[in-house]
Amino acid sequence: MATVARASRRGGTAPPGWTHDPTSWSRRVPLIALALAGLFIAAYLTLHQIGVLGGDVWDPVFGSSSSERILTLTDPVPDAAAGVLAYATEVVLLLAGGPGRWRTMPWTCLALGLVLCAGGAVSVVLVAVQAVVGAWCLLCLASAALSLLLLAFGIGEAVAAWQAVTRARVHGRSLAQALRGA
């Protein structure tokens, strides 16, 4: 009982039926680190795609020619820039609000869930394209793995927020009020 009271004062209570707060800092900080790693990789690949970085793309496993083949599939569109946007959005959404934001700011958790799902879907397609083309890109695979890890460990926020919004709607709140955490 004392633990629940302390958690309530901090605003970090677990959602009903949960054993933890999916929006606690101890859960978000590792996700922020993963998103920053993905942002770094996507930025490097984007700079390479747009010609800012000269020379070969770094790939000690499959070789730069294999990575180059994958990175030029969408020329002249630097598709890695979409990764920069997605990872940066994840970082911003993960930094917003405090513990218990599944209840107080559910819209941020739901927005994060959408970005994470999109990143996971794109990652699966990215890996499939590499298999079909028969060329592989180490950094592209690393980015895909990061996106899938972010999805696996971050989707709980969106689930908890959706449950909170659903409960608020059942109790007569408008969708706008429920999304604001009112």
Q: Is the peptide bond before 76 cis (omega within 30 degrees of 0)?
A: yes
Q: Distance (Å, rounded) from C-alpha 182 to C-alpha 179?
A: 8
pTM: 0.90
| Helical axes 106-133 vs 138-170, angle rounded to 10° | 150
Helices (H) and strands (E) in the chain, counts: 8, 0
pLDDT digits (tens, 9 = 90+) for 77-119: 999 999 999 999 999 999 999 999 999 999 999 999 999 999 9
Does 10 score more than 50 pLDDT?
Answer: no
pLDDT digits (tens, 9 = 90+) for 104-160: 999 999 999 999 999 999 999 999 999 999 999 999 999 999 999 999 999 999 999
Mean pLDDT, residues 47-64 taken together = 95
Q: Distance (Å, rounded) from C-alpha 137 to C-alpha 143?
A: 10
- Do residues 156 and 22 make contact, with C-beta atoms less than 8 angstroms apart? yes
pLDDT-derived band of residue 13, with 50, 70 and 90 as boundaries?
A: confident
Does 50 score more than 60 pLDDT?
Answer: yes
Q: Which CATH superfamily is domain 21-180 in?
A: VKOR domain (1.20.1440.130)
Q: What is the helix, strand, coil percentage profile of the chain, to 5?
A: 70, 0, 30
Mean pLDDT, residues 33-59 taken together = 96
Q: Distance (Å, rounded) from C-alpha 43 to C-alpha 41?
A: 5
